[in-house]
């Protein structure tokens, strides 16, 4: 993994009371410190280049302490992914409820929120990591769905199904169309943010959102995307 600035290192340590076992609160803080350090390492260096020894040293814990909470590197990596996905895919205000009555402003709002989350530096680093490790960890797509992406598709599909039922859109497969909407909105700006083209300025992003929503709805009004 290259091109990522090293994030600031945490110095907070969760030490057990002298002469006794750590409290539940201290144990939880220690686990958080380990995951924080591992997150920085995995995002910066990737899975293969990150060692348990390095994580333990940076977190200032013994390997035995780390292994007591995470049996191996894969378990630690999975915990890191689950927490990152929950943070970036299940952001509370990205999926508003209830949505606006009109489909176009509803989709514009959703598109703006999706891009705001997807283009955060840590979210981009997560995307790089998922692509790099998808072959090694086939459970990643399931984790994505359970962490929030599935909820996003379901919400958009429900909005589209409502419009189909009202006769405002052609008969389409709402779930399929919802996935296409997310791809249309996110893929271009994220590709550029990853270095595959000049990144969009804010005004360009706003224009992208409006044009993407208009193009998508035009296709839904005149297309026949059915199962």
DSSP-derived letter for residue 152 is H
Domain 83-222, CATH class in plain words: mainly alpha
pLDDT for 24 equals: 65
Give 91's Cβ-side CA count (13 Å radius).
14
How far from the centroid of its chain's Cα atoms is residue 204's Cα? 23
Which of 91, 75, 207, 221 shows the shortest CA–CA distance to 147?
Answer: 91
Tens digits of per-residue pLDDT, 68-104? 899 999 889 888 888 877 776 555 455 555 455 688 9
pTM summary value? 0.68
pLDDT for 176 equals: 92
Distance CA(171)–CA(176), nearest Å, equals 12
Examine domains 1-71 and 83-222 and report if their fold is the same.
Answer: no
Report residue 202's pLDDT band, with 50, 70 and 90 as the boundaries: very high
Tens digits of per-residue pLDDT, 102-122? 889 889 988 998 888 888 888
How far from the centroid of its chain's Cα atoms is residue 91's Cα? 9
Task: Report domain extents, the chain.
Answer: 1-71, 83-222
Q: What is the mean pLDDT of residues 32-51?
A: 90
Distance CA(43)–CA(46), nearest Å, equals 6
Task: Provide the H-helix boundaries in the chain.
Answer: 24-45, 52-59, 63-69, 73-89, 103-118, 121-133, 140-144, 150-165, 174-193, 202-222
Cβ atoms of 65 and 174 closer than 8 Å = no
CATH architecture of the domain formed by 1-71: Orthogonal Bundle (1.10)
Cβ atoms of 39 and 82 closer than 8 Å = no
Report residue 19's pLDDT band, with 50, 70 and 90 as the boundaries: very low
CB atoms within 10 A of CB 38: 25
Assess whether pLDDT exceeds 90 at residue 48.
Answer: no
115: buried, middle or exposed (CB in 10 Å: 19+, 13-18, 0-12)?
buried
pLDDT for 226 equals: 52
Tens digits of per-residue pLDDT, 151-201? 778 888 988 999 899 888 888 899 999 989 999 999 999 999 988 889 999
pLDDT for 4 equals: 43
């Amino acid at each position: 993994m290259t091109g990522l600035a090293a994030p600031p290192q945490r110095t907070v340590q969760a030490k057990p009371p002298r002469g006794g076992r750590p409290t539940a609160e201290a144990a939880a803080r220690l686990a958080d410190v380990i995951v924080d350090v591992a997150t920085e390492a995995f995002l910066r260096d990737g899975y293969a280049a990150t060692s348990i020894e390095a994580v333990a040293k940076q977190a200032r814990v013994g390997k035995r302490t780390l292994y007591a909470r995470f049996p191996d590197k894969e378990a630690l990596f999975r915990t890191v992914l689950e927490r990152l996905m929950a943070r970036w895919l299940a952001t509370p205000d990205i999926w508003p409820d209830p949505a606006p009555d009109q489909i176009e402003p509803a989709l514009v709002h959703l598109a703006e929120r999706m891009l705001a989350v997807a283009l955060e530096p840590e979210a981009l680093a997560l995307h790089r990591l998922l692509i790099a490790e998808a072959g090694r960890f086939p459970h990643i797509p399931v984790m994505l769905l359970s962490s929030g992406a599935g909820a996003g598709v379901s919400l958009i599909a429900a909005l589209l199904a409502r419009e189909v039922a009202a006769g405002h859109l052609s008969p389409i497969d709402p779930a399929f169309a919802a996935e296409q909407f997310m791809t249309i909105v996110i893929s271009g700006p994220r590709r550029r943010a990853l270095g595959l083209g000049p990144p969009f300025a804010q005004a360009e992003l706003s224009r992208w959102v409006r044009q993407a929503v208009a193009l998508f709805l035009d296709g839904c009004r005149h297309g026949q995307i059915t199962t």
